[in-house]
Amino acid sequence: MAQLIGGLATSHIPAIGNAIAKGLQQEPYWKPFFDGYPPVRDWLGEQRPDVVVVFYNDHGLNFFLDKMPTFAVGAAAEYRNADEGWGIPTTAPIAGELDLSWHLINTLVDKAFDITTCQEMLVDHACTLPLKLFWPGDCPVTIVPVAINTVQFPLPSAKRVFALGEAVGEAIRSWDSPKKVAVIASGGLSHQLDGERAGFINKAFDLQFMDSLVSNPQWATRFSVLELVEKTGTQGVELLMWLAMRAALGTAGGHAVREVHRNYHIPISNTATGLMALACE
C-alpha cells in the first residue's frame, strides 16, 4: 500500500511568483517569507515523496461564477498552467498521477461525496506556486489536484471539508502502490482583498489555528463558514485547505503527527502568510 508521509501548507499569493521570477527572495520585503522554506525542503529531500495531492481553490481557469463545483478532482495525465494575467511565468506541464486520481474519485463517490471529475484541467498559481516553493528546481513529483470552492457562496462547511480530507487520507492509504504520498494545502491565512475590511488580518486567530492543527485538529470545525469569514476575511476562508490537509493525515487509530516546521509572516500583499510541515508518525 502507499505510504502517506505527511502534509504541507503554504500561502499562494500571486506576487510570490513574480518575486521568484525576478530573484527577489533575499530582498528585505521578501526575505522573512522565503527564509521559512529551506527546512521544509530539507525534510522533503529526506522523505522524497513521489506524489502530492494538492488541496487548492481554482481562481477562474476552470470554474467561474456561473459554474462552481463544491469539490472537483483532477483525473488528467498532465496539467497545464495558463496565463492568469498576473505576470507570473507559466510552468511546464505537470504530470498527473492517474491511478491515484481514479482511486480517489471512486473512493469519494463511494463515501457519498458528489464531486466533479475533470479529465482535462488547467492549474493556476494556487497549485503551481506551492510546487515552486517546495521544489525550486524541476518538480520531482506527480500530482492529483483537488479543488475546493472558497470563491462563491454557498461554501462547504469546515466539518464537510474535514470529512473530505479524512476520506482522501483513507483513499491514499488504501491505494495499491509502493509510492510515497504527501498532501499539500494551498491558501490563506487571514486576508481580505476587497470591501470595507480590505487589508483585514487576524494574527491571533491564525496562530491559534496553526496550533490546533497539531494539538486539536477539529478545533476549527466548530465555526460556521460565516464565522470563519468574520474571523479570517473573505479570502482567509482558504484555511479550509489547511483543514482538509490535516484531516487527511488522520486523527484517530494511531495516526499521530509531528510538526516539522512552521513560519508565519505579515504582511505579504496585505496577507498573513503561513507555512507548516507535518510528518506522519
**Catalytic option among 12, 59, 125, 261:** 125
Pairing type for strands 71-74 and 116-118 reads parallel
**Catalytic option among 12, 103, 191, 261:** 191
Residue 241: CA atoms inside 13 Å, Cβ hemisphere, count? 37
Taking residues 189-195, what's their average pLDDT?
86
Q: What is the pLDDT of residues 205-249, one digit of tens each?
A: 999 999 999 999 999 999 999 999 999 988 889 999 999 999 999
pLDDT of 191 strictly over 90 = no
pLDDT of 193 strictly over 80 = no
| Mean pLDDT, the chain, whole residue set | 94
Cα–Cα distance, 184 to 52 (Å, whole number): 7
Q: Is 261 a catalytic residue?
A: no
The answer to pTM > 0.75 is yes
pLDDT of amino acid 64 = 85
Taking residues 133-151, what's their average pLDDT?
96
Taking residues 102-124, what's their average pLDDT?
96
Residues constituting the chain:
281
Cα–Cα distance, 215 to 209 (Å, whole number): 10
Binning pLDDT at 50, 70 and 90, where does residue 254 land? low
Q: Is 103 a catalytic residue?
A: no
Segments of the chain assigned E as strands: 3-10, 51-56, 71-74, 78-81, 94-95, 116-118, 122-123, 142-148, 180-186, 257-268, 271-280
pLDDT of amino acid 161 = 98
Residue ranges in 84-147 assigned as alpha helix (H): 98-110, 125-134
